[in-house]
Amino acid sequence: MLDTPRGKDLHRRNTRTMHGRREPQFISSQEDAAMIDTAVERIDRMLAGLPTRARRAFLLNRLEGLPRQMIAERLGVSQGTVERDLRRAFIHCLAPSGECR
């Protein structure tokens, strides 16, 4: 759902970043609010199966838009470790369980 440009735009407009830098905006309809709630619940369930560091790296990259080097600095690990964690998260998202699709 968030893979579409509209989904990404709605997510950006209607959620806070991990560090609260973005204020929530007006949600145009109950349908939009329900769609966002559903997407957030699916993402939470999907990410719950990841190790903490991989989950944090994924969120910093996909939600905050941080490049891998900045993620490495923030997490206090090498860029190679961030690459492995992101790879693990992406593979987890594509798992045949269908949870992330």
Distances (CA, A) of 66 to 28, 29, 41, 62, 97: 28, 30, 23, 8, 28
- Classify residue 98: in a domain, yes or no: no
- Classify residue 43: in a domain, yes or no: yes
The whole domain housing 12 covers: 5-20+28-93
- Classify residue 59: in a domain, yes or no: yes
pTM, 2 dp: 0.60
The Cα 36–Cα 30 span in angstroms is 10
**In this structure, what CATH number is given to the domain that contains residue 55?**
1.10.10.10
- Which residues contact residue 71 at a Cβ distance below 8 angstroms, ignoring those fewer than 6 apart? 57, 60, 61, 82
Predicted local confidence at residue 101, as pLDDT: 42
Domain count, the chain: 1
- Classify residue 56: in a domain, yes or no: yes
With vertex at residue 38, the alpha carbon angle to CA 100 and CA 15, rounded to the nearest 5 degrees, is: 100
Query: In a structure prediction context, what are the per-residue pLDDT tens digits for the chain, which is 101 residues long?
Result: 455 555 555 555 555 444 455 555 556 788 888 888 898 888 888 888 899 999 999 999 998 999 999 999 999 999 999 999 999 999 988 876 645 54
- Classify residue 101: in a domain, yes or no: no
- Classify residue 100: in a domain, yes or no: no
